[in-house]
Amino acid sequence: MKDKVLEKQPQPEENKRRQFLKLSGMALVGTGLLYACSSDDDGSMPPPTPGVFDLGAGNVGILNYAYALEQLEAAFYTQVLAGSYWMNAPANEKQILEDLYNHEVIHREFFKTALNSVVSSDMVLPTVEFDFSSVNFSDRASVLGVAKILEDTGVSAYNGAGKLINVSDASGVTYLTLAGKIVSVEARHAAAIRDLLNPGSADFAGDDILIGLGTAPAFDKATPPADVLQAVAATGFVVTPFTANNLPTS
Amino acid sequence: MNFLKFLDTLSDKDLLNEKSSRRDSFDMFKTLGKGAALASIPFGLAAISTKTKAATKSMAYAAEMADEMDVLNFALTLEYLERSFYQQGLDAAGLIPSSDQAVFAKISQHEDAHVDFLVTALGSNAVAEPTFDFTGAPGGLNLDPFGDYPTFMALAQGFEDTGVRAYKGQAGALANDNALLEYALQIHSVEARHASQVRRMRGEKGWITQSNNTLPTEFAAIYGGSTPESNTTQGGVNLSGMFGQFGGDAAVTEAFDEPLTMNEVLTIASIFIVS
């Protein structure tokens, strides 16, 4: 299970598609998402792409969105723990990264279970394949640098998703509470990684990541899914295509 | 309104049970861009005088507003407490070693900003700053946080972890107001960053395992409560025993922070509040 992502054996046809996506992704980095990821304000929906999973609408869409982010984090730390930086790291750092790995796997599996309990499996985001070949898992700065980005992104993503959860029924309130239970753990992670990179500094909650609300920087960002997914796409880590054409935007 | 009167008004209400299913009770918030200048934020709360409130109390709209205002005042009370604590800590000569100054100066700046934000948001409805006593005398304790650095650190951890749990506990109460909910979330995760940092400086993990902690036993409630940090049931699913290869139940409890109710938080805060 630990190496689920690594053990996945792509079929020949998948290989071709993956190659195509890699190329397209490279071409589009910096210019936007490989796949459109938000409902347009004018209400027009892009047509579904055949064979490509869409995260869906409403609370299920938000759950799939969180599941996608947790899959990304869990897959990344799976690779971290298989790399030589981690194997040779000081005990304290090893422990922190192993904890993060455990937490993200737990989050991932939790969302998988939760989604499968509320919708049929064809509405649950499949296992996403990732390509971390741009990360040097032998290099501390490379690993911790990516970890920092992923954790900070997770924080701003959950903060931005909170208001998109429809709370008109009890399960919606439960989802909101769950998002709250997870986002603060992501923030704890982000602070720890940032402190590993610059120990004893103010970076754990630095001005580089916080924003002001008419004040000095003292608030985490709350980023809409479209912007989060655009940033994720720009990393080039995501191999399996999926769209987010129907997520709530307000 | 002083803190004790504020508590009194809270006791008359069942804050969490009066939720409307309607989102965006304050339509004016819809038009606000993220990061709008604070002065331009028409919070609306400030504009509603006590008299107006009384006159319209029968309206569900007004009732909901009052609840949200109480939540903001609750948050403001905690932010006052943190602000005062760090200010006094930074002012205490020789208390904080130079190697830790950057961290506590940054935390202190954040608590200042959180107070400023909430005071502006609440306007004339903002609760007055309580009188704090960080010896814990109101709760029967005799601590010396500004003369003894380990005690200062322990209280800092306790306040930050309490803050995280306090904001989390109010998410449901703010759920019908997108703007307020988002602002609260944006503070909530910063408190979690603080908590992680202080915990690690004290030699604990940045995250909470079970309900374990190294604080004085008087502060067990910070990690306990009706949904203790040791909770393993999430969304109705008991995750206990499911993650043996991934850190087991200890990691499960670390992976989810838990809320405290308003009353649970106020009981903790009251240890340090004179009036």
Phi and psi torsions of B132, nearest 5°: -100, 150
Contact B38 A99 (CB under 8 A): no
Percent of chain A whose pLDDT exceeds 90: 78
A96 contacts: CB under 8 Å, gap ≥ 6: A192, A193, A196, B206
* 3-state SS, residue A243: strand
pLDDT at A2 over 60: no
Q: What's the mean per-residue pLDDT of chain A?
A: 86
Name the residue facing B186 among A2, A219, A250 (closest C-beta).
Answer: A219
Contact A200 B171 (CB under 8 A): no
Contact A176 B171 (CB under 8 A): yes
Which pLDDT does position A170 carry in this prediction? 87
Name the residue facing A187 among B105, B114, B189 (closest C-beta).
Answer: B189
Give the mean model confidence (pLDDT) for residues A114-141: 97
Task: Please name which of B99, B95, B98, B76 lies closest in space to residue B87, comparing C-alpha atoms.
Answer: B95
Contacts of A98 in chain B (CB under 8 A): 247
* 3-state SS, residue B190: helix
Q: Is A30 exposed, middle or buried (0-12, 13-18, 19+ CB in 10 A)?
A: exposed
Question: Nearest chain A Cα to B31, which residue?
Answer: A250
Percent of chain A whose pLDDT exceeds 70: 81
Contact A187 B192 (CB under 8 A): yes
What domains appear along chain B, each with residue ranges and CATH number? 3-10+61-272 (1.20.1260.10)
Which pLDDT does position B7 carry in this prediction? 56
Which pLDDT does position B6 carry in this prediction? 55
Which value does ipTM take for this structure?
Answer: 0.85
Which pLDDT does position B63 carry in this prediction? 54
Query: Over the Cα atoms of chain B, what is R_g?
Result: 19
Contacts of B178 in chain A (CB under 8 A): 163, 250
Min Cα distance B192 → chain A (Å) is 5
pLDDT digit string, tens, across residues A26-74: 222 222 334 444 444 444 566 777 889 999 999 999 999 999 999 999 9
Contacts of A201 in chain B (CB under 8 A): 102-103
* 3-state SS, residue A53: strand
Per-residue tokens: B4: 């004790």
Question: Nearest chain A Cα to B16, which residue?
Answer: A173
pLDDT at A243 over 90: yes
Sign of CA dihedral A124, A126, A127, A130: negative
Which pLDDT does position A40 carry in this prediction? 41
pLDDT at A8 over 80: no
Answer yes or no: are the C-beta atoms of A193 and B200 closer than 8 Å: no
Answer yes or no: are the C-beta atoms of A209 and A134 closer than 8 Å: no
Contact B105 A219 (CB under 8 A): no
What domains appear along chain A, each with residue ranges and CATH number? 58-241 (1.20.1260)
- Crossing angle, helix B149-169 and helix B262-269, to 10 degrees? 160
Contacts of B175 in chain A (CB under 8 A): 165, 167, 172-173, 176
Which run of H or E residues covers position B237? strand B237-238
Contacts of A107 in chain B (CB under 8 A): 255
Q: How confident is the model at residue A16 (pLDDT cuts 50, 70, 90)?
A: very low
Contact B245 A1 (CB under 8 A): yes
Q: Which residues of chain B have pLDDT under 50?
A: 12-60
Intra-chain end-to-end CA distance of chain B, in Å = 11
Which pLDDT does position B5 carry in this prediction? 57
The CA-based angle B152-B154-B159, given to 5 degrees, is 95
Min Cα distance A136 → chain B (Å) is 24
Question: Nearest chain B Cα to A224, which residue?
Answer: B34
Give exposure, A197-221, as e/b (b: 16+ Cβ within 10 Å). Answer: beeeebbbbbeebbbbbbbebbbbb
Which pLDDT does position B19 carry in this prediction? 37
Strands A242-243 and A53-54: parallel
Contact A106 B246 (CB under 8 A): yes
Q: How confident is the model at residue A145 (pLDDT cuts 50, 70, 90)?
A: very high
Which pLDDT does position B76 carry in this prediction? 98
pLDDT at A15 over 80: no
Contact A106 B37 (CB under 8 A): no
pLDDT at A172 over 60: yes
Which pLDDT does position B18 carry in this prediction? 35
Distinct helix (H) and strand (E) counts, chain A: 8, 2
Which pLDDT does position A49 carry in this prediction? 79
Contact A200 B117 (CB under 8 A): no
Give the mean model confidence (pLDDT) for residues A235-242: 96
Answer yes or no: are the C-beta atoms of A131 and A25 closer than 8 Å: no
Contacts of A178 in chain B (CB under 8 A): 234-235, 256
Question: Nearest chain B Cα to A155, which residue?
Answer: B189
* 3-state SS, residue B233: strand
Give exposure, B55-76, as e/b (b: 16+ Cβ within 10 Å). Answer: eeeeeeebbbbbbbbbbbbbbb
Between these two residues, B131 and A21, which has the higher pLDDT value?
B131
Which pLDDT does position A48 carry in this prediction? 77
Name the residue facing B103 among A172, A202, A215 (closest C-beta).
Answer: A202
Contact B38 A117 (CB under 8 A): no
DSSP state of B244: G
Contact B190 A220 (CB under 8 A): yes
pLDDT at A22 over 50: no
